[in-house]
Amino acid sequence: MSSATIVNLPRISREDLAKLVRDKEPGISIIDVRDGDYIGGHIVGCQNVPTSTHDYRMPELVRTLADKDTVVFHCALSQQRGPSSALRYLRERERMSAKGEATSGEQGKDAAKEQKVVVLDGGFTKWQEVYGTDAELTEGYVKDLWDDSW
């Protein structure tokens, strides 16, 4: 079982992630786990995988993201749902590796070792404070929904 916990999960700053998104880094995938609060904007190129779908979507997510170098999870604040989802993802990768299920054409632990799983520090709330109106980085942004919230 993974030694990762919510406390020691690696974080990525909004500035570092913004650079990767601007550069259209092909080895990164951004997973937004917000449920109904997904409205009002999201990071360009992210996938919305609501926490309510994790029971049945996590194995599929592990398989489809197996070729990515870095997977970034986030929610609104990245205090609970984002980190919990990242941990669940890591544990599912380990489970699938232990069972010998193929990931990106490779078997087992080698694929799991090569992928970095991180959490966006401050979540979308902090992201939108700086990049909400930047159309190169944020899609579907509705400023009024974020004013005086959180």
Identify the structural domains of the chain with CATH numbers, from first to last.
Answer: 11-145 (3.40.250.10)
| Of 77, 149, 61, residue with least CA distance to 119 | 77
**pLDDT above 60 (res 105):** no
Q: Is 75 a catalytic residue?
A: yes
Torsional sign, CA 82, 83, 87, 93: positive
Mean pLDDT for 4-29 is 94
Q: Decide: helix, strand or coil at residue 94.
A: helix
pLDDT tier, 108 (very low <50, low <70, confident <90, very high otherwise) = very low
At residue 26, what is the residue type? P
**Token pair 């601007």: residue:** 22
Give the span between the Cα atoms of 75 and 138, in whole angstroms: 15
**Token pair 């986030």: residue:** 74
Alpha-carbon dihedral of residues 8, 73, 92, 96, nearest 10 degrees?
-110
pLDDT (0 to 100) of residue 114 = 82
- Annotated active-site residue in 9, 75, 117, 119: 75
In angstroms and rounded to an integer, the radius of gyration of the C-alpha atoms of the chain is 15
Mean pLDDT for 25-34 is 96
| Of 35, 107, 25, residue with least CA distance to 71 | 25
pLDDT (0 to 100) of residue 100 = 77
| Of 107, 112, 119, 114, residue with least CA distance to 2 | 112
pLDDT in tens, 63-91: 999 999 999 999 999 999 999 999 999 99
